[in-house]
Amino acid sequence: MSRYVVFISALFVSLLGAQEGPPAVAVLDFEPNGIPDYEAETLTERLRSEIANTKAVRLTDRKLLEKILQEQGLQQSGCTTDECAAEVGQLLGAQFMISGSIGKLGDTYTIDAKMVSVTTGAAERTKTATYRGPIAGMIAEMEILAWEIVGLNAPESLLMKRAGGDVSNRITVAVLDFEPRGISSLESQTLTDRFSTEINKTDRAILVDRNAMNEVMQEQGYTAAECSSEECAAEVGAMLGVQFMINGAIGKLGETYTIDAKMFNVGTGAAEKTINTTYEGRVDGLITEIEILAWEIMGLTPPQSLLGKRVGGAVAASGPVSKTRMGALIRSMVIPGWGQFYSDRSLMGWSFLGGELALGALAYLSYSNYQTSYDDVTNFNAQYRASVDPDQIMPLRAQSEQAESDVTAAIDQFNTMILAAGGLYVANVVHAFLIGPKKDTAAKKSKMDLVYHPELKQPQLRFSIALD
Amino acid sequence: MRWTKTILASLTFVFLACELPEPEAIYDNPLDGGNTSSSALVFVPEQSVTNLGGSVAVEVYAFEVTGVAGIHAQIQYDNTKLGVSTVSLGSFFSDAQAPGFVWEANNGILDIYTFYMGSDGSKDGTGPVATVVFTTSLPGNTNIEFTAQSELRDSTDGLIQLNELGTGTVSAQ
């Protein structure tokens, strides 16, 4: 009897579907991945309600759908394939079937929806959405998806309801540890962590938790070190359900470091963005470089504060690359010793500066004596020429001649000091240019490093002694 | 490189500017023993400057003389440019109660006579014999000089040798 009723009902619905008007659509409960069944059902129900509001389609009654599924010996959760959906749709007399899944990664939810043509069995339209925040915010996401899956733009009022910020522009990304080439794996992992942190700061990507990624890789029988190929990365990315994977390598050639990073689409396997940078200096400076790289690989301009660190901050200060002989030369020409200070040769800098100051002081003293004696000559000579007292004339002449002698001595002393100062100045300039900036030696490198140990999953304080 | 050139040019300028000038001391005092021999008649000052039509006072000095009781100073000058306005007695014989003093200017020759009265006085050393006030009448420099007729006499009317006779210049501008 019940079979007969269902058949009659289906026939009736089919006849309705054949009528002119919006196409008939049935919505299967979305498959829950990482969330309870009832939450998936509730959210699917909200999708149905909103689809009805679009007026673009006619929604098939849910109870009729359940009856047909029961008749076919299926549950909604069991009808996940396109073929099943098409078969059920035919029985319902619907032109389209909507199915999908709702997943959860950490505190991030993903929605994948698909509208399948019952007649052809092909996917007519697919939509995905990503949301980070409390589960209640998913209601607005489902409502928006209801409009988008039928090919319409969601109304502004609905978009305004969207909670937890605009995540539609965000992409899901997983970052594999950068392959170390010439640096330690601990350094590489620490830099990768810093890279991941900076990716998060861009607010343009939802990053998969490192632990979740490691678990997936372990399930697949990989270790982080082994999964360096694009195939492995794509496989892991697919397992994680992310859109993009980022992998790369950090290499060292002499004093030069290279960072190569690639972001590729997990679905297509195509490289979305490849970026590389070269850095010369201490390994610490790589932190800033890799932070900048994180912004660039997301297609964003790094913040000025970050670029400032590279130009005039820690990176520039720690690396001797920016210091040149010409820079030392010009500085030593402006102020004696400055070029040596600039070249990290403080002792020589103080020597030249002190020497110049001492000679300058002596030259000033000589000049002061010269001025006094000069005034004496002028004064005594004037008195001598004006005098008509024979007793005064000779003493005045003697005083004037003595003052003249003092002037000559003062001039000689002054010239000597100036020449000495000039010689020292030239020596300072030549020294600054020939010796040049001091190169970093191993002894000057930091002996204490804070690094991240991936196996212990905790930071480590590392102490190292340079043997060169 | 542009900075380097600028700095080098500036420093060169600084070093050159550091050359200190020496004072120009002139030791031309006619009463300086280094310039004039003992037993001489000189003008003080040797060079005088005045405006055209103006007057200058030139002192006649006896320099480091010994036992002088009478002086005859004959001065030659260009009377087309200079005129003698007045001549006054100097203090060389001031310790005498009333030294004799006579002067006469004629055709560019000025004769000055001064002497102790009587025969018991004489004078040693350096001192002004007379002060001559000249008046300028044409522009330019005019030399004044003692002629060979100038002489020193002792208390016995004996001639005292004059080792040097000074010269002078009066400039009218």
Q: Which residues in chain A are closer than 8 Å to B11, comparing Cβ atoms? A: 333, 425
Report the pLDDT value the prediction gives residue A203, as an integer from 0 to 100: 80
Euclidean distance between CA atoms A65 and A250, whole angstroms: 56
At residue A15, what is the residue type? L
| CB-CB contact of A249 with A181 (8 Å) | yes
The verdict on a CB contact (< 8 Å) between A333 and B8 is: yes
Report the pLDDT value the prediction gives residue A439, as an integer from 0 to 100: 62
User: What tens-digit pLDDT sequence spans chain B (173 residues)?
Assistant: 566 667 667 766 666 666 788 888 999 899 998 888 889 999 999 999 999 999 999 999 999 999 999 999 999 999 999 999 999 999 888 776 778 899 999 999 999 999 887 666 888 999 999 999 999 999 999 999 999 999 999 988 899 999 999 999 999 98
Report the pLDDT value the prediction gives residue A2, as an integer from 0 to 100: 44
Within the 34-73 window of chain B, which residues sit less than 8 Å (CB to CB) from chain A? 34, 44, 59, 61, 64
**Mean pLDDT lowest among A277-281, A437-441, B150-154:** A437-441
| CB-CB contact of A134 with A104 (8 Å) | no
Residue A120 burial (CB < 10 Å; 0-12/13-18/19+)?
exposed
Does the interface ipTM go beyond 0.85? Answer: no
**Runs of H (alpha helix) within A175-262:** 185-201, 210-219, 230-240
Report the pLDDT value the prediction gives residue A366, as an integer from 0 to 100: 93
Does the pTM exceed 0.90? no
Residue A385 touches partner B, C-beta closer than 8 Å: yes
**Per the omega criterion (within 30 degrees of 0), is the bond before A459 cis?**
no
Nearest to B20 among A329, A411, A422 (CB): A411
The verdict on a CB contact (< 8 Å) between A411 and B22 is: yes
**Per the omega criterion (within 30 degrees of 0), is the bond before B139 cis?**
no
Q: Reply yes or no on whether the pLDDT at A316 is more than 70.
A: no
**Mean pLDDT lowest among A147-151, A176-180, A232-236:** A232-236
Nearest Cα of chain A lies from the Cα of B30 at a distance, in angstroms, of 9
Residues 6+ apart with CB under 8 A from A327: A339, A342, A437
Residues 6+ apart with CB under 8 A from A398: none
Q: Which residues in chain A are closer than 8 Å to B22, comparing Cβ atoms? A: 404, 407-408, 411
Euclidean distance between CA atoms B89 and B62, whole angstroms: 13
What are phi and psi for residue A437, nearest 5 degrees? -65, 145
Nearest Cα of chain B lies from the Cα of A348 at a distance, in angstroms, of 22
Mean pLDDT score of chain A: 80
For chain A, the C-alpha Rg in angstroms (whole number) is: 41
Closest Cα in chain A to B25: A381
> Could you tell me which residues are beta bridge partners of residue A451?
A460
Q: Where are the beta strands (DSSP E) in A136-202?
A: 171-175, 179-181
Residue with tokens 């929605």: A111
C-alpha triplet A93, A94, A95: angle, nearest 5°: 125
What are phi and psi for residue B71, nearest 5 degrees? -130, 135
Going by DSSP bridges, is the β-strand pair B159-160/B82-89 parallel, antiparallel, or unpaired? Answer: unpaired
| CB-CB contact of B154 with B69 (8 Å) | yes
Percent of chain A predicted with pLDDT > 70? 83
Nearest to A176 by CA among A119, A138, A214: A214
SS3 state of residue B67: strand
Report the pLDDT value the prediction gives residue A465, as an integer from 0 to 100: 60
Region A143-147: mean pLDDT is 89
Nearest Cα of chain A lies from the Cα of B42 at a distance, in angstroms, of 12
Report the pLDDT value the prediction gives residue A91, as an integer from 0 to 100: 83
Report the pLDDT value the prediction gives residue B3, as an integer from 0 to 100: 61
Region A410-425: mean pLDDT is 92
| CB-CB contact of A128 with A154 (8 Å) | no
Nearest Cα of chain A lies from the Cα of B25 at a distance, in angstroms, of 6
Euclidean distance between CA atoms A357 and A345, whole angstroms: 18
Q: With residue A257 as reference, give the H or E element that holds it.
A: strand A256-265
Q: Which residues in chain B are closer than 8 Å to A397, comparing Cβ atoms? A: 27, 29, 32, 34
